[in-house]
Amino acid sequence: MSVTGLPPYDDANIFARILRGEIPCKKVAEDAHALAFHDIHPQAPVHVLVIPKGRWVSAADFHAGAEAEAIAGFWRMVTAVAKEQGLEASGYRILSNMGQDGGQEVPHFHVHLFGGRRLGRMVPPAPAG
């Protein structure tokens, strides 16, 4: 069980397969700690995913278990990619979905980086009723 009560890490998840090179990705940046690549279904002119290289299901797992150097390296990549994508002046959004209510589809911790347009409301209103 992961720290958050989510299922344990699944080595067959799509991001694990991308990290192993079994599935191609449009790479933006890579170092010892993290990999950044374009989302396959972009929801903004810039939509990049940043993933740590370790086997972490969620933000909670990652921050509880990863080495400090890996955590710092991951977040440095997020902001470096935002800069490299030309988003510093216009602004951007960092988002991470976790578990069922968060809408997490891929059970490998990741951050979405969105930019290139006005992104609107942070969270859609709850459905009526």
Per annotation, catalytic residue among 38, 63, 108, 110: 110
- Catalytic status, residue 41: no
Question: What is the binding site for ligand 5GP (CB under 6 A)?
Answer: 14, 23, 25, 37, 39-41, 49, 97, 103-106
Looking at the Cβ atoms of 60 and 106, the one nearer to ligand 5GP is 106
Looking at the Cβ atoms of 41 and 121, the one nearer to ligand 5GP is 41
Buried b (16+ CB within 10 A) or exposed e, 5-38: ebeebeeebbbbebbeeeeebeebbeeebbbbbe
Shortest distance (Å) from residue 67 CB to ligand 5GP:
24
Which amino acid, one-letter code, is at 105?
E
Looking at the Cβ atoms of 69 and 102, the one nearer to ligand 5GP is 102
Find the helix or strand (DSSP H, E) in which 17 lies: helix 14-19
Shortest distance (Å) from residue 74 CB to ligand 5GP:
16
Q: Is 39 exposed, middle or buried (0-12, 13-18, 19+ CB in 10 A)?
A: middle
Shortest distance (Å) from residue 41 CB to ligand 5GP:
4
Distance (Å, whole) CA 99 – CA 108: 11
The residues annotated with a catalytic role in the active site are 110
